[in-house]
Structure 1
Amino acid sequence: MNDEPDKGERKHPGQASRQDRLRLALRENLKRRKAQARGRSETTRADDTSDQDRSK
């Protein structure tokens, strides 16, 4: 209906490399945050297990 280009198309060629850098940075950030969350959940599980051992 509208004649605007798709969002995937870029008007400026320099923005392509910027978009790629931003995409990569977001992906790396997500990986790091997931690893941190896994580390926290493992620590929490270990703490819960040791708490249960103490209550016996």
Structure 2
Amino acid sequence: MERKTGSQKPKPQDRDTRLKAALKANLARRKQQAKARGAAKPASEQSSEKDP
């Protein structure tokens, strides 16, 4: 059995690009979820949360 000695490790730049894309997708998903939660609450409930 032969081992491959020329295994390619991912370049740091590729990793940074991949992480940047994942972070952007995660932020967009969280923003969409927060927007959906805000739209689900009636306006009267939102104002009452501010007043203790």
Q: TM-score, normalised by structure 1?
A: 0.57
Task: Report the Cα distance in structure 1 between the residues aligned to 2:44 and 2:25, rounded to whole angstroms.
Answer: 29
| Structure in which a larger fraction of residues adopt helix | 1
Unaligned runs of 5+ in 2: 1-9, 46-52
Percent identity, please.
42
Instruction: List, as ranges, runs of 4+ consecutive aligned residues in structure 1 with deviation greater than 4 Å.
Output: none
Higher relative CO (CA 8 A, sep ≥ 6), structure 1 or 2? 1
Query: Are 1:36 and 2:33 an aligned pair?
Result: yes
Query: Are 1:27 and 2:24 an aligned pair?
Result: yes
Residue correspondences, number:
36
Task: Report the Cα distance in structure 2 between the residues aligned to 1:36 and 1:46, rounded to whole angstroms.
Answer: 18
Unaligned runs of 5+ in 1: 1-12, 49-56
Q: C-alpha root-mean-square deviation of aligned residues, in Å?
A: 2.0
